[in-house]
């Protein structure tokens, strides 16, 4: 008899969770889908969002897709079937999640695209990110200033390393920087000796450090045996780390180290900035983005107006978006931006 009663209670709890999105604990459940653990920032994004959502009273299902779209799709379907009330997704590949988004829409589960816009599907409810074009402009403006392109005679030699072609952000980063630097390429003051200046030629699948290193080693070996490299425009830190490794192993003019850009303030790159091997990064405080995402979820689930400050076209709709501000970082600002703010401890970055 007792078994029967317990079985009935269990079935009722499961039904409740599925119908109300409230897990047995009575809490609303949020599905957080991150692309990979192999790139530092997503571990921080996931951990911090879990902390903030749980502090706000939600139950959290946090999953990492190992860089595989089909894994991310099946994880999302499990989240939908397990009663998640909202999905927060940083897509592995921008256009591969349509079936999951359609299933979420069928169950009236809102979707927030996190950091990376999900393309080609109308069932993206909101987008929370940093101003990615501005990230590229910050990088481009830094190279312009560091080489004093408006006054110095030049010419200066530059190479480019962009991000994953399946990541919608990668074109924003690259185009934002290239818009600043193209006039100097056109005038001949900047010379890309490899000739590789189009996105497809300079893109780095999966933002892989190893892939960026191999390509940079090839470029250095083929074009810079006896030439100085003055700048290397890298769209983020994981690719900048690959370029720095290649410069360490193949570049012969070590006393004329190029300006190297990046993004994310990854620990390895911050250490490289302190060592003078990476010149700048762009800080995108994952705590800011995580807190904004929690605010958006609260507003959605409370039926309140969701605060946004921009829209992005995802080729199916204008997605209401909230853009956080990226911040320039170099070795002189590390203490203030990263240590004093509590983002890293001094010992994390070898200080």
Q: How far is the CB of 284 from ligand GAL (least distance, A)?
A: 6
Using the rule CB under 6 A, is 87 a contact of ligand GAL?
Answer: no
Query: Which of residues 27, 85, 116, 277 is near ligand GAL by CB under 6 A?
Result: 116
Nearer to ligand GAL by C-beta: 238 or 245? 238
Nearer to ligand GAL by C-beta: 157 or 286? 286
The window from 48-56, 161-169, 188-196, 314-322 that contacts ligand GAL (CB under 6 A) reads 161-169
CB atoms near residue 315 (< 10 Å): 12
Sign of CA dihedral 113, 84, 93, 48: positive
Using the rule CB under 6 A, is 167 a contact of ligand GAL?
Answer: yes
Q: How far is the CB of 130 from ligand GAL (least distance, A)?
A: 7
Here the tokens at position 80 are: 């939908």
Span 236-255, contacts to ligand GAL by CB under 6 A: 236, 238
Cα separation, 335 vs 128, in Å, equals 27
Cα separation, 19 vs 84, in Å, equals 10
Using the rule CB under 6 A, is 61 a contact of ligand GAL?
Answer: no
Here the tokens at position 58 are: 């939600």
Q: How far is the CB of 339 from ligand GAL (least distance, A)?
A: 20
Q: Which residues of 249-262 are buried (b: 16+ CB within 10 A; e: fewer)?
A: ebbeeeeebbbbbb
Using the rule CB under 6 A, is 41 a contact of ligand GAL?
Answer: yes
Query: Which of residues 17, 23, 32, 39 is near ligand GAL by CB under 6 A?
Result: 39
In sequence order, what are the residues at sequence separation of 6 or more whose Cβ sits closer than 8 angstroms to the Cβ of residue 41? 264, 266, 284, 286
Number of residues that bind ligand GAL (CB under 6 A): 13
Nearer to ligand GAL by C-beta: 80 or 162? 162
Using the rule CB under 6 A, is 189 a contact of ligand GAL?
Answer: no
Cα angle 144, 254, 328; round to 5: 35
In sequence order, what are the residues at sequence separation of 6 or more whose Cβ sits closer than 8 angstroms to the Cβ of residue 204? 161, 162, 163, 164, 211, 212, 215, 239, 242
Place of tokens 């079936």: 99
Cα separation, 160 vs 107, in Å, equals 44
Using the rule CB under 6 A, is 264 a contact of ligand GAL?
Answer: yes
Query: Which of residues 33, 169, 175, 211 is near ligand GAL by CB under 6 A?
Result: 169
Using the rule CB under 6 A, is 215 a contact of ligand GAL?
Answer: no
Using the rule CB under 6 A, is 93 a contact of ligand GAL?
Answer: no
Cα separation, 270 vs 272, in Å, equals 5
Residues of this chain that interact with ligand GAL (CB under 6 A) are 39, 41, 115-116, 163, 167, 169, 207, 236, 238, 263-264, 284
């Amino acid at each position: 008899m007792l078994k029967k009663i317990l079985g009935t209670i269990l079935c009722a709890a499961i039904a409740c969770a599925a119908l109300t999105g409230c897990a047995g604990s009575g809490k609303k459940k949020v599905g957080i889908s991150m692309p990979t653990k192999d790139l530092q920032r997503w571990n921080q994004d996931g951990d911090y969002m879990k902390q903030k959502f749980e502090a706000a009273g939600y139950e959290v299902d946090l999953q990492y897709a190992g860089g595989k779209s089909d894994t991310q799709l099946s994880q999302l379907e499990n989240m939908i079937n397990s009663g998640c009330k909202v999905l927060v997704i940083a897509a592995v590949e921008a256009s591969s999640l349509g079936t999951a988004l359609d299933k979420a829409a069928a169950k009236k589960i809102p979707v927030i695209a996190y950091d990376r816009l999900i393309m080609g599907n109308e069932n993206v409810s909101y987008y929370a990110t940093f101003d990615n074009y501005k990230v590229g402009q910050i990088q481009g403006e830094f190279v312009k200033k560091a080489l004093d392109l408006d006054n110095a005679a030049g010419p200066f030699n530059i190479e480019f390393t962009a991000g994953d072609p399946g990541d919608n952000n990668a074109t924003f980063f690259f185009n934002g920087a290239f818009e600043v630097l193209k006039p100097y390429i056109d005038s001949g003051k900047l010379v890309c000796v490899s000739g590789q200046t189009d996105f497809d030629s300079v893109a780095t699948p999966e933002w892989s450090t190893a892939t960026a290193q191999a390509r940079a080693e090839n470029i250095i070996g083929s074009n810079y045996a006896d030439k100085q490299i003055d700048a290397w425009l890298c769209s983020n830190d994981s690719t900048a780390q690959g370029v720095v490794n290649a410069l360490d192993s193949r570049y012969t003019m070590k006393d004329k180290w190029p300006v190297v850009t990046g993004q994310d303030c990854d620990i390895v790159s911050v250490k490289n900035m302190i060592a003078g091997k990476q010149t700048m990064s762009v800080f995108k405080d994952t705590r800011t983005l995580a807190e904004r995402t929690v605010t958006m979820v609260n507003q959605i689930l409370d039926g309140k107006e969701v605060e946004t400050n921009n829209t992005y076209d995802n080729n199916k709709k204008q997605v209401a978006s909230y853009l956080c501000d990226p911040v320039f970082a170099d070795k002189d600002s590390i203490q203030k931006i990263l240590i004093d703010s509590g983002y890293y401890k001094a010992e994390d970055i070898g200080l």
